[in-house]
Structure 1
Amino acid sequence: MMLFLILAFTFLSAGLSAPLTSDCDTLTQQVEIPSRDPLLGVWTFALESTDIPGSKLLLKMFVENVWGKVFPANESDSIFVFQVQKILGRCFSITSKLTLVNNTLHTEHPLSASEVLLRTSCSDCILLLSNTTLGESTYRTMQLLTRRPKLTSAEIDEFKRQAACLNLPPPAILTANKGFCPDSSASKDTETTDLTSVLSQANPEYMKILDKLLSSQSGIKMIVDSMRNQK
């Protein structure tokens, strides 16, 4: 499971939201990000497939929902992403800055990552494929974000086929019916814990340890036991 973020985008072209075939070249086709403007707004994280070991189990057990808000930075080619996750009834947020270079979004904090946009038949969704460095490893994650509260069965099946084409595991489905966390910018009395500084200033050795924990059954069990004790 990643406690980091990744963001959003709306297709402006009808061609980008055309029905897809079962052909992997089409299903995994990268599309152009014309500007930052279509990225702006509020998004719900609906589906995630990642090769981070243990991620799906941890998401299923502890993460209730995730939403994000994208807003412009001072530079015309950059954006800020504010992501909020509800974990065991508590709210945690992370803010990151991404820069668009050669059709790829890049960020260094709180983790080093690059993201591209893939084609999807969902007209009000975005499909992101990211490479994120954790410790000494680089992991791939594919996420489907939407402006709607619920996806169709066909859209979920399409995502599963796309994950299979990329040799990624079956996705975790994030529910959106347990009440979203508040926007910390909207209230001084928020119960949201901001993890941005904690992750950005984390000792690199800690990230290496976390990487090793996520890569072993005993490490995942240790994380699960620790999370259960937080209830």
Structure 2
Amino acid sequence: MFPAACAIALLCLVSASLSAPLACEDLLRPLDQLNLRHLEGRWALVAGSLSHLPYLERFKQRDSAAVNFSSNSTEINVSYTRSLRLNNKCQYSSYNITMEGSSFTYDGTDKSNASARFVHTSCHDCMLMHMDVESGKRQHFYLFSRRRQLEQEEIEEFTAQVECLKMPPPVVMDPTKELCPEETAADPTAQTEEETEGQKNLETIKRTP
């Protein structure tokens, strides 16, 4: 009886060890089907993580951020405007992207070395974006939602996904911080702190939706 119990326990341990990688694979699986109509509109940034620690520290400094998607003339061409509030000042940047399933690439040369994909999430009104920059040298992982604040279990799922990517613990945005107004162009008098640091830093900000 005892040997049989040991054998069963051993099989359970082996099964658990084999299932662990599958759990991460399931957590990070690409979105099965992207509904462009669902994508349209404004999404507030709820949490995010960046693999490059200096950029992560700068990410923590922002007050709020959001993206606003709009479809173009075809189902594969989409544009979005990113708004970022830092030190009570807003910056806007617009991008055109080309969709391919649940993945997309940026049009133009400024982000030609960046690609992204939408990842599955159990949150019903969330959007999860995983970006690879410079051929995977850096990873950006962002959780957006129609809501400003999510339930604890939804944040815990995102945290588990970040851990699967072996990235630093996610930064959760303060839902009380005001979002920038929905605009398509930046106010020329509203310069962020990064913009005063030169073109190199501006390019860094552009890579952070």
TM-score using structure 1 length:
0.67
- Deviation, 1:178, is 2.0
- Provide the secondary structure at the position in 1 that maps to 2:26: helix
Distance 1:145 1:189, change over 3 A: closer
In structure 1, the gaps of 5 or more residues are 1-21, 212-231
- Deviation, 1:76, is 2.8
Identity %: 21
- Deviation, 1:193, is 5.2
Aligned to 2:133: 132
CA distance in 2, matches of 1:29, 1:137: 17
Q: Does 1:73 align with 2:72?
A: yes
- Deviation, 1:190, is 8.1
Aligned to 1:26: 26
1:96-148 CA-partner distances (Å, limit 9, x unpaired): 01111243111044423211121212111011111123xx9731111110001
Tell me if structure 1 keeps the 8 A contact 2:132–2:138: yes
In angstroms, what is the RMSD of aligned CA positions? 2.9
- Deviation, 1:34, is 3.5
Point out the structure with max Rg over C-alpha. 2
- Deviation, 1:56, is 2.6
Please list every run of at least 4 consecutive aligned residues from structure 1 whose deviation after the TM superposition is greater than 3 angstroms: 188-194
CA distance in 2, matches of 1:78, 1:103: 13
CA distance in 2, matches of 1:132, 1:106: 11
CA distance in 1, matches of 2:101, 2:27: 21
CA distance in 2, matches of 1:34, 1:108: 19
Aligned to 1:118: 119
CA distance in 1, matches of 2:187, 2:28: 43
Q: Does 1:105 align with 2:104?
A: yes
Aligned to 2:149: 150
Aligned to 1:176: 175
In structure 2, the gaps of 5 or more residues are 1-21, 205-209
- Deviation, 1:176, is 2.6
CA distance in 2, matches of 1:23, 1:172: 23
Amino acid at match of 1:30: P
CA distance in 2, matches of 1:35, 1:160: 25
CA distance in 1, matches of 2:160, 2:68: 28
